[in-house]
Amino acid sequence: MKALLVEPSTFLRTVIGSIFARHNIAYDAVVNGESALAALAGGHRDLLCFSFELGDMRGTELLREARQRGLLGLTTALMLTSRRERVVFAEALAVGVSECFLKSDLNSFEAYVEQWEKSVTRRLSGRVLLVEDSITAARFYREVMSGLGLDVFWFKSAEDAITSLAQQDYQIVVTDYVLDGFQTGLSLIRAVRSQPGKKGEIPILALSALGSASRRVDLLRAGANDFVNKPVVAEELAARLGNLLTLRQLWEQLEAQHELLKELALRDHLTSLRNRHYLHGAWPQILARARQEGLVLAVVDVDHFKRVNDEHGHARGDEVLIAIAELLRASCRLPQEAIRYGGEEFLLLLPATPLADALRMADELCAQVAASRPAGMKMTVSIGVSSLQEGDDFDRLFARADVALYECKQSGRNCVRQR
């Protein structure tokens, strides 16, 4: 990656050169337009940066002459100027300048250079499903994609590509419109979009030599995310692939963050057990399963917990809750689950658990809490137990277990009762 800097001012050449150096961009510097044309004729530059006033010509004239001589190709052209007139910027854009910057605002210039360098040198990762009937074109695309760091899997027909898609995971699909076999790229795009789950959301880049606007619209409506006309330019293909994959990665990160936030909202921040919001949201599924395999609900209440907070402080109380929550968690075996219902009250959801086993488990928990001295405190729990009956909803099941818990309190605590 190499730049050519055209700037009469020694001071600005030094400043801009240091910007290039900070971003690992090799560069040559010249002082006027004629020297710039000679340098461009001597070798390709990825970036051309020049001032509007060059002494022997204007920067816009330099760019126009370089393009006429075929010296630039896809070189990115940036112009620096001290003049704020709109006409200067309009003239620069008209001859093909990518961006104009004021010499008084080199921070913006450096921000652009930094982003440009990252986009040019970025390495991609992932598996590409390439569908192209031309061996020559496929070889070219594979060279470009492999150079970006992508693993390419090539098929000539939509039929073979669809079979592979069902068997393998890909991060992007690149397909021509005209393919071997009886299906087109349009058919392939529809087939991809009909896939269940994540496979149906894979980014798709469509290619075609058929320059019909209606064809492009059909491909985009079918679900293609982007389109490239043939013959394909390597830099354009690389840029579009990079953009699609980057957008997909950002979307996946956003989805992961959303799922994490959902998970955090359904967990108690102190004990990390599932909370009341989770239980109420999941109850329809829990109940449907319980109708088939049964369910026992145990309500666990920490005895005299208010006394701990009053006499030892809330921090000590939190330590007690954390320790008891860990005992409850450790006692459960999937699909059993411990839930912090609120305050010092916990629930044990015990699906597919015989009532006798649930009562034995509750007795053992009472003994474990008393023996463990959570947070160094002499603590006990009371546990009310009830099993799901015909016609029960959560409120009815909970109410019976709560009555059993009240009976524990009336009986002196540190015990188990069943209703």
Using alpha carbons, select from 68, 88, 66, 70 the residue that is nearest to residue 79: 88
Parallel, antiparallel or unpaired: strands 204-208 and 172-176: parallel
Residue with tokens 């940036």: 78
The yes-or-no verdict on residue 211 having pLDDT over 80 is no
| pLDDT tens, residue by residue, 387-416 | 998 888 899 999 999 999 999 999 899 999
**3-class SS shares of the chain: helix, strand, coil, % to 5:** 50, 20, 25
Task: Give the pLDDT confidence score for residue 257 in this predicted structure.
Answer: 87
Q: What is the largest CA-CA distance in the chain?
A: 103
| pLDDT tens, residue by residue, 18-53 | 999 999 999 999 999 999 999 999 988 999 999 999
- In this prediction, residue 14 has a pLDDT band, given cuts at 50, 70 and 90, of very high
Pairwise CA distance, residues 99 & 129, whole Å: 35
What average pLDDT does the segment 334-343 reach?
92
Task: Give the pLDDT confidence score for residue 83 in this predicted structure.
Answer: 87
| pLDDT tens, residue by residue, 369-379 | 999 999 888 99
- In this prediction, residue 264 has a pLDDT band, given cuts at 50, 70 and 90, of confident
Task: Give the pLDDT confidence score for residue 181 in this predicted structure.
Answer: 87
Residues assigned a catalytic role = 344
